[in-house]
Structure 1
Amino acid sequence: MIIGSLQKKPDTSLKGAFPTGGLTLHNYAEINSRVDLVRSLLNSGIFTGGVLLGTVVFGVLAGYALARLHFRGRGTLFAVMLLVQIVPFQLLIIPIYVMIVRTYGLADSYAGMIVPFLINSTAVFVFRQFFLALPDDLFSAAQLDGAGELRILWSVALPLVRPALLTVVLLTFIGPWNEFLWPFLVTKDQSLQPLAVTLANYISNIAGRASNPFGAILAGAVVLAAPAVALFVVFQKRFTASEISSGVKG
């Protein structure tokens, strides 16, 4: 994909994957001349950052509650949460759109794009499983020292579930970063549209008229995929790194 985006002339054969010359950044320059990449990147950052913040905060609180707090209906609530995951988001688009746009009046706003994705049941499940894996002795020791639940969560549990945090951040990042359908429905204001929507419009409506349509389409795909790939490369070694038992003697 990267090589194809750098080709001067389209070459879709196997030989084209091993170019001997003729690479250029012209395809990227054409995107930048037709699309405000800086503004689109900023919009994607706001959209994705808002979703990440909501997912982590609500995921940690709900996951901790389902794993460590004892209350009536906890098992039923967890079962319902699992059932929610089998419902495709596409089935919910129309009712959510009516609620967000007509009921709450959040069309053409960042909040309208972010709110439907603030709570992620997958993130809740991941955090719950990690909190269940922590030794009970750590929580008992903290309770004996007089720590409340929020203090235990912040000082004891969170430092030990960094792999879960990184996993949730990466998995959550990929979704809103590549999401183009929902932002496109919520806002028609181009100054608010994230990168995925902007590049989808470019690839669908403009890339075909470029001097190298094949390279222009691949260049758009590279621009969209590069941040997610970079994030994975940076944090991949930390996914399995854990010090769960470091606070327990013996």
Structure 2
Amino acid sequence: MSRPRTRGPAVLRAVVLGIGALAFLFPFYYMIIGSLQREPDQTVAGAFPHPGNLTFANYVTIDSRIDLLRSVINSGIFTAGVIIGTVVFGTLAGYALAVLQWRGRGAVFALALLVQVVPFQLLIIPLYVLIARSYGLADNYLGMILPFAISSTAVIIFRQYFLQLPQAMFEAARIDGASELQLLTKIALPLVRPALVTVVLVTFIGPWNEFLWPFLITKRADLQPLAVSLANYLTNVANSTANPFGALLAGAVVLVVPVVVLFVVFQRQFVSSDLSSGVKG
């Protein structure tokens, strides 16, 4: 007699979670449907259009105005450069803060935590003067990448993961003659794969969606990433198109899809692996 009572809360929980999932996914669905509509319909009924009103014309339209492929390539170069710099410098700094013993290690880690509370907007003016005026890297991929190449968040993540590794494992490898670089690349990194994936995912979202810094540092349209190109399209040429609403949603779909796909593919990697599996009993 108690089975129906125990099943009731589970069913209610499933219903509530299902409604929450639908509410969360509906904006993405509406964005995709809106990008495919030939005639814009911004009402609630527009979420369920007639199949005859669906077309890829909006993607063709926005591609003809902002060179969608070129903008995606620019975003990819910008994001890849930031990810490479973040992973390389993050692993080196995280390893030094977690494994190596040196004077001032605690102060450096405290400084990395302090950087977290400084808004990037406060640094834009001195960064622009330094990179554009002093280094002459305006309208340059390197000028876009440099301010984001080192991330204190990545340093903290790698440090916390490296601290979970047994120190005896590193001592044994040192006795065998392994260098610190070999310890990092052959022992530490394979055991903190979840940290690598987490840093890549978190880092990817930032530069891929970044607007303000690339907008300031690049004036050439052929170097601007997709977020900046979409903003320019909305400001300058959207009103001259037959369906600016649909074309803008088409660009938003192109901007969002890589992030969603990357997360879906690697979401399981967010779960920490069994670090003790690398140590023989």
The equivalences for 1:61-100 within 5 A come to: 61-100=92-131
Per-residue deviation at 1:9? 1.9
Aligned pair count?
250
What does the per-residue CA deviation read over 1:89-122, in whole Å, with 9 as the maximum and x for residues that have no partner?
0111001101111111111111111111110000
Structure 2 CA distance for aligned equivalents of residues 154 and 49 of structure 1? 20
Match among 132, 135, 141 for residue 104 of structure 1: 135
Name the residue aligned to 1:182.
Answer: 213
Q: Residue 230 of structure 1: SS of its match in structure 2? A: helix
Match among 62, 69, 84 for residue 53 of structure 1: 84
What does the per-residue CA deviation read over 1:114-152, in whole Å, with 9 as the maximum and x for residues that have no partner?
111110000101101111111223223212322121111
**Structure 2: tracts of 5 or more residues without a match:** 1-30
Name the residue aligned to 1:237.
Answer: 268
Structure 1 CA distance for aligned equivalents of residues 128 and 70 of structure 2? 25
Structure 2 CA distance for aligned equivalents of residues 59 and 247 of structure 1? 22
**AA in 1 matched with 2:257:** A
Could you tell me the TM-score, scaled by structure 1's length? 0.95
Q: Which of 1 and 2 has higher RCO (CA within 8 Å, sep 6+)?
A: 1
- Given that residues 203 and 220 in structure 1 are in contact (C-alpha distance below 8 angstroms), is that contact kept between their aligned partners in structure 2? no
Structure 2 CA distance for aligned equivalents of residues 36 and 136 of structure 1? 52
Percent identity reads: 68
Name the residue aligned to 1:156.
Answer: 187
Q: Residue 222 of structure 2: SS of its match in structure 1? A: coil
Q: Residue 278 of structure 2: SS of its match in structure 1? A: coil
- Given that residues 36 and 56 in structure 2 are in contact (C-alpha distance below 8 angstroms), is that contact kept between their aligned partners in structure 1? yes
Structure 2 CA distance for aligned equivalents of residues 192 and 203 of structure 1? 18
Name the residue aligned to 1:31.
Answer: 62
Question: Bigger shift: 31-40 or 64-73?
Answer: 31-40
Structure 1 CA distance for aligned equivalents of residues 202 and 39 of structure 2? 36
Name the residue aligned to 1:125.
Answer: 156
Structure 1 CA distance for aligned equivalents of residues 268 and 237 of structure 2? 39
Superposed CA RMSD: 1.4
- Given that residues 211 and 227 in structure 2 are in contact (C-alpha distance below 8 angstroms), is that contact kept between their aligned partners in structure 1? yes
The structure with more helix, counted as a fraction of residues: 2
Name the residue aligned to 1:192.
Answer: 223
Q: Does 1:223 find its partner at 2:254?
A: yes
What does the per-residue CA deviation read over 1:173-227, in whole Å, with 9 as the maximum and x for residues that have no partner?
1111111211121121112111221121112222233212221221111111111
Name the residue aligned to 2:172.
Answer: 141
Which consecutive aligned stretches of 4+ in structure 1 deviate over 3 angstroms post-superposition? none
Name the residue aligned to 2:19.
Answer: none
**AA in 2 matched with 1:105:** G
Per-residue deviation at 1:166? 0.8
- Given that residues 194 and 273 in structure 2 are in contact (C-alpha distance below 8 angstroms), is that contact kept between their aligned partners in structure 1? yes
Structure 1 CA distance for aligned equivalents of residues 174 and 45 of structure 2? 65
Structure 2 CA distance for aligned equivalents of residues 67 and 18 of structure 1? 54
Structure 2 CA distance for aligned equivalents of residues 158 and 38 of structure 1? 35
- Structure 1 pair 18–141 and aligned structure 2 pair: CA distance change class (3 A): farther
Match among 48, 53, 65 for residue 18 of structure 1: 48
Question: Bigger shift: 36-45 or 97-106?
Answer: 36-45
What does the per-residue CA deviation read over 1:2-48, in whole Å, with 9 as the maximum and x for residues that have no partner?
11111122222333223342211111110111121222222212211
Question: Bigger shift: 129-138 or 163-172?
Answer: 129-138
Per-residue deviation at 1:241? 4.9
